[in-house]
Amino acid sequence: MTRTVCIGECMIEMAPTDTEGAFRMGFAGDTMNTAWYLRRLLGADHQVDYLTAIGTDSASQQMSAFLQQAGLGVDSILRRSDRTVGLYVIRLDNGERSFSYWRGQSAARTLAQDKAALNAALSGADYAYFSGITLAILPPEDRARLRDALAVFRANGGQVVFDPNLRPALWSDPQEMRDEIMAGAAVSTIILPSHEDEATWFDDRDPAATASRYAACGVQTVVVKNGSGPMLTCVDGVMTSHDPVTVQQVIDTTAAGDSFNAGFLASIIRGAALSGAVQNGAQVAAQVIQSRGALVDLT
């Protein structure tokens, strides 16, 4: 039995349907997507909890019911009577998707207000998973509180897994993003960056530069995702390249990185070797990008 706590924001997703003006309501968000896939990939003897904050209104209750139905533990979810959950709308224009967000005041932004609640959620867990988006939505003092809680969790033997998921639009400026991401990396044991984003915002010339930069923070394991290209791992300073999975037709790359992380982590939790875990991550992501939407039924 292991317990993994995924930490971040789940939002209401309004996705267009074939009927003009009609949208389908769903739930998504980077860390929740990973938790959702992790739950499906692990057996019932592994627990996956989601830690976030939601409101007390009916939309928040629907979200909680959705998470519970997905098999995720919801006992650590905080409830705020003065806030509700964030929302985004997807628009399709000639096949191009664009996103509009209403999340500036979302309840999830309060998920790290209370040190005791963070410690209670992490107590006895084996893995904690968070992302750069988790950090981006928090006020600076709450970000530090979350990092401190993760550092204590790590010092007590917990594995801290971090996807930098760089989203400059959520930060006040790119330098703040870079500084906070590297501070997040410094409390982590496993980091799962995507090279393309890292090259754009950290000027990494190749995946090895991304791996070296994170390894220099004292992280044991770095796995650099790389679109359709070869992935690179760096474990205790040793770099290894991993072949990508060939995908004939990419339908929708939404949640490629999130589902990779779940496939990788599910294997690590089950005790697989690193190369097998990377292959499993790539296989899961390959399935996900051959279907539409963030949450895809795996075969």
Q: Residue 87 pairs with which residues in a beta bridge?
A: 12, 102
Q: Which one, 148 or 252, has the nearer CB to ligand ADP?
A: 252
**Can 258 be counted among the known catalytic residues?**
yes
We find the least distance from the C-beta atom of residue 214 to ligand ADP, in angstroms, to be 15
Q: Site for ligand ADP (CB under 6 A): which residue of 136, 177, 256, 269?
A: 256
For residue 31, state whether it binds ligand ADP (rule: CB under 6 A). Answer: no
For residue 177, state whether it binds ligand ADP (rule: CB under 6 A). Answer: no
- Segment interacting with ligand ADP, rule: CB under 6 A, options 71-79, 94-102, 143-151, 241-249: 241-249
Q: Site for ligand ADP (CB under 6 A): which residue of 260, 262, 264, 277?
A: 260
Decide if 52 contacts 10 (C-beta within 8 A). Answer: yes
For residue 286, state whether it binds ligand ADP (rule: CB under 6 A). Answer: yes
Decide if 263 contacts 37 (C-beta within 8 A). Answer: yes
Number of residues that bind ligand ADP (CB under 6 A): 19
For residue 231, state whether it binds ligand ADP (rule: CB under 6 A). Answer: yes
H helices present in the chain, as ranges: 30-41, 58-69, 115-122, 132-136, 140-155, 174-185, 195-202, 207-215, 256-269, 274-288
For residue 251, state whether it binds ligand ADP (rule: CB under 6 A). Answer: no
CA distance 95 to 117: 43
We find the least distance from the C-beta atom of residue 104 to ligand ADP, in angstroms, to be 23
Task: Label residue 190 exposed, middle or buried (CB < 10 Å: 0-12, 13-18, 19+).
Answer: buried
The DSSP output letter for 243 is P
- Segment interacting with ligand ADP, rule: CB under 6 A, options 54-62, 111-119, 198-206, 247-255: 247-255
Q: Site for ligand ADP (CB under 6 A): which residue of 60, 84, 159, 194?
A: 194
CA distance 299 to 296: 9
For residue 134, state whether it binds ligand ADP (rule: CB under 6 A). Answer: no
Q: Give the end-to-end CA distance of the chain in Å, rounded to a whole number.
A: 24
